[in-house]
Structure 1
Amino acid sequence: MTHYVDSEVAQLGTVLLHRPGPELARLTPRNNDSLLFDAIPWVGRAQEEHDAFAAALRSRGVEVLYLADLLTETLAVPEARAELTEQVLRSRRLGQTLRRRVADHLTYLDPAGLADVLTAGLAHEELRLGADRPGGLVWTLMNRHDFVIDPLPNLLFTRDSSVWIGDRVGVTSLAMPARRRETTLTDAIYRYHPRFVGTEFVYHPRMEHLEGGDVLLLAPGVLAVGVGERTTPAGAERLARQVFAAGLAHTILVVPIAQERATMHLDTICTMVDADTVLMYANVADELSAYTVIAGADGEELRVDGPAPFLRAAADAMDLDQVRVIDTGLDPVTAEREQWDDGNNTLALAPRLCVGYERNVETNAQLERAGIEVIAIAGSELGSGRGGPRCMSCPLVREPGGAAA
């Protein structure tokens, strides 16, 4: 199976999603902040919204793969099961006695049951320990509402833990502690699942912090990488070196963004909806800058130029006279509201065809007026973790060369 992505807008063939499940039901007012959610989602409604999202993709000919299914199939491979179990047991929180009890519990789970634990976590009470099977000091002193294995509610946002660049996958290095275990799952899937046998990697979780929401494939050979709350300058530099060495790109635009919750990733303020067109948060469009990075003549040192206005640097790198811009909202207040509600975070299924949240009425109208068809989906519950259609999707296959099918 050939997986290949070299643009944001070419005809989408295959996408990786994660249908929200019991991990969302683990969110409470006690832990939602630490688990990076702004509200407690209604799980049933979130699932309905996600199912409608997946159905919209399938109706346009997109193959939808689910992370939980791939993980279950991966765990049928003995080496993968042993590796992922060992990584969970390695946690320094457990202590020797509790580690043995958790190991015993995991041993008897079938692949589907183990996949559930690895995604939804394991609560203190679910181990059912007692006088005959003591959990040791750690288990005894734990709050009964705590987790022995933490849930991963942000798995919903599959864009962040891996990104395909050409025919190679980058399994990223997530910055927030609540999310770091996500990449152990995606890494194992890409290494052990039969569908991905022989896949080459261009990035690994042990490298500097880099998240997929900060990586835009502006055109074949041209990447933009946001640097802010999640992706570090060191992560952007490492990615540049990796893609240049692999011959996957000739230009990287490094784009500093505000280190704020509202702009956690570059794709919260800018996404592509056509080969020469971006949807951009108007309140920052004029001040957004970029540093242009290319490989040095010796192949070792990087050449860094700039800063220059982002839109000018992007047009030059993409060999365009200019990049067309569609503004979020119609005025500064509407723009701010709809940017917060992921109005900028669209997923292109093909040139001039994208998926966006229905609640961003003005932004969607702006897109339609500019000749961009919008497939509007509900997202009142899905958006509680601060992510839109692009965040919830990791493209695995697009038509090469930025072309439509």
Structure 2
Amino acid sequence: MSDRALGLNSEVGTLRVVILHRPGAELQRLTPRNNDRLLFDGLPWVSRAQEEHDAFADLLRSRGVEVLLLSDLLTEALASGAARMHGISAAVDARRLGLPLAQELSAYLRTLDAAPLAQVLMAGMTFTELPLAGSELSLVRRMHHGGDFVIDPLPNLLFTRDSSFWIGPRVAITSLALPARIRETSLTDLIYAHHPRFLGVRRAYESRSAPVEGGDVLALSPGVLAVGVGERTTPAGAEALARSLFDDNLAETVLAIPIAQERAQMHLDTVCTMVDTDAVVMYPNVVDSLSAFTIRKAGSGVTISDAAPFVQAAAEAMGIDRLRVIDTGLDPVTAEREQWDDGNNTLALAPGVVVAYERNSQTNARLEDAGIEVLRISASELGTGRGGPRCMSCPAARDLL
């Protein structure tokens, strides 16, 4: 790996380093019985999802982006004894398993080499897969079906955007809202704490008192962030994040943007993403209704303005005349379909250059008509968990604007 300096101050500065997670065995754990609980709308064809993800990673590499794979980072970090204890303690839930079984399971996991341990931490383990000879004495084991999970899988690791994001030279570890995803942050935390690549990287926003997810955080311009408040990020989380960033001089303005609390709009980046220094692609149903409360640093405190139209508040905060809005067209059926298929969830590789799902043909055409270069990737299976190119990527280094 290179020693390129990490950090960013925008959504659109030329992308240099990104963290992805190649779909793996954790997706093969999905069944019709558990896919809703694990936040997938269907059962992906895993080998095809891997092919699509490989093509996504190759496209990024072809544009000069260094791609770090989360599974490799995790395996390498687990060379540390402290990292192993960190990962195991987060994965073994004594309240659910009972103390005897939890102790036996922890002892077994400590015997695993880094690669198989990483696999268990990501893909989980069923009761049938428990190798513990004495665990038949556990009532918990006897009362569970063999296919039940003793350690839950983490199929949403695919969406590396949510569990951490970079602001300036620092990384923020988020607090994920839903039970199926809470343990993802323990793996992200482990990697940043113990992998040599991140040695010396300081943390931003370490107060995890209220949920904040990376998909809700947009770095509109240097010092200006937008934070969606809805299904995953709470008002308390947005406020705590803003105050923490102000205290560390990492931001001067944070726009808190209410969004619908529903599956189709789970994060701000499902309805709006930056595609150029002064332009966003946005779901047309929210262009006129999206509002923002502007939180500004004021000495040792903050000021909070009344809600104003998002487009207007963003332009003012960014210091530009207007924020260009590229929407997905006026046909409500097409707009709704393409928003559901993550047409508004683009990943900027540079100002005016984005990666998008090829299936969203109308949105992509609108982007190109507005002068944006669109690099298309296929996603017949990657989209099963409702996430696009931005959701699947955690930029760790961009050229500064």
Structure 2 match to 1:13: 16
Structure 1 match to 2:184: 182
Structure 2 match to 1:385: 385
Separation of aligned partners in 1, 2:235 and 2:47? 39
Structure 1 match to 2:336: 336
Structure 1 match to 2:303: 303
Asked if structure 2 preserves the Cα contact closer than 8 Å seen for 1:23 and 1:151, the reply is: yes
Structure 2 match to 1:259: 261
Q: CA deviation at 1:349?
A: 0.2
Asked if structure 2 preserves the Cα contact closer than 8 Å seen for 1:129 and 1:135, the reply is: no
Structure 2 match to 1:352: 352
Q: CA deviation at 1:205?
A: 6.8
Matched residue type, 2:102: R
Which stretches in structure 1 are left out of the alignment for 5+ residues? none
Separation of aligned partners in 2, 1:205 and 1:357? 35
Separation of aligned partners in 1, 2:90 and 2:248? 29
> Could you tell which deviates more after superposition, 339-348 or 81-90?
81-90
Encode CA deviations 1:249-308: one digit per residue, 9 max, x unaligned. 1110100000000000000000010000000000111010001001233x13x2100210
Q: Does structure 1 residue 107 correspond to structure 2 residue 107?
A: no
Summarize the Cα distance change of 1:221–1:97 in structure 2 as closer, same or farther, 3 Å threshold: same
Separation of aligned partners in 1, 2:27 and 2:161? 18
Q: CA deviation at 1:9?
A: 0.5
Separation of aligned partners in 1, 2:207 and 2:149? 24
Give the SS at the match of 1:231: coil
> Could you tell which deviates more after superposition, 363-372 or 327-336?
327-336
Asked if structure 1 preserves the Cα contact closer than 8 Å seen for 2:55 and 2:377, the reply is: yes
- Residue 49 of structure 2: which of 46, 49, 63 is its match? 46
| Cα root mean square deviation, aligned | 1.2
Separation of aligned partners in 2, 1:362 and 1:103? 51
Q: CA deviation at 1:90?
A: 4.1
Separation of aligned partners in 2, 1:143 and 1:205? 38
Q: How does 1:155-194 map to 2 (within 5 A)?
A: 155-194=157-196
Encode CA deviations 1:150-180: one digit per residue, 9 max, x unaligned. 0000000000000000001000000000000
Structure 2 match to 1:218: 220
Asked if structure 2 preserves the Cα contact closer than 8 Å seen for 1:279 and 1:327, the reply is: yes
Matched residue type, 2:145: N
Structure 2 match to 1:33: 36
Q: Does structure 1 residue 366 correspond to structure 2 residue 366?
A: yes
Structure 2 match to 1:196: 198
Asked if structure 2 preserves the Cα contact closer than 8 Å seen for 1:80 and 1:192, the reply is: yes
Separation of aligned partners in 1, 2:308 and 2:95? 46
Q: CA deviation at 1:374?
A: 0.6
Structure 2 match to 1:229: 231
Summarize the Cα distance change of 1:377–1:205 in structure 2 as closer, same or farther, 3 Å threshold: farther
Separation of aligned partners in 1, 2:366 and 2:99? 58
Separation of aligned partners in 2, 1:286 and 1:267? 17
Asked if structure 1 preserves the Cα contact closer than 8 Å seen for 2:213 and 2:232, the reply is: yes
Structure 1 match to 2:317: 317
Summarize the Cα distance change of 1:34–1:189 in structure 2 as closer, same or farther, 3 Å threshold: same
Q: CA deviation at 1:42?
A: 0.4
Encode CA deviations 1:334-391: one digit per residue, 9 max, x unaligned. 1000000000000000011000000000000111111111111011111110100000
Give the SS at the match of 1:164: strand
Matched residue type, 1:248: L
Matched residue type, 1:171: I
Structure 2 match to 1:66: 69
Which stretches in structure 2 are left out of the alignment for 5+ residues? none
- Residue 252 of structure 2: which of 247, 250, 260 is its match? 250
Q: How does 1:262-281 map to 2 (within 5 A)?
A: 262-281=264-283
Matched residue type, 2:247: A
Matched residue type, 1:396: A
Count of aligned residue pairs for this structure pair: 398
Give the SS at the match of 2:397: strand
Asked if structure 2 preserves the Cα contact closer than 8 Å seen for 1:97 and 1:135, the reply is: no
Asked if structure 2 preserves the Cα contact closer than 8 Å seen for 1:183 and 1:205, the reply is: no
Q: Which runs of 4+ in 1 moved over 4 A?
A: none
Structure 2 match to 1:93: 96
Give the SS at the match of 1:92: helix
Give the SS at the match of 1:85: helix
Asked if structure 1 preserves the Cα contact closer than 8 Å seen for 2:84 and 2:110, the reply is: no
TM-score with structure 2 setting the length: 0.97
Q: Does structure 1 residue 3 correspond to structure 2 residue 3?
A: no
Q: CA deviation at 1:128?
A: 4.0
Q: Does structure 1 residue 76 correspond to structure 2 residue 67?
A: no
TM-score with structure 1 setting the length: 0.96
Structure 2 match to 1:144: 146
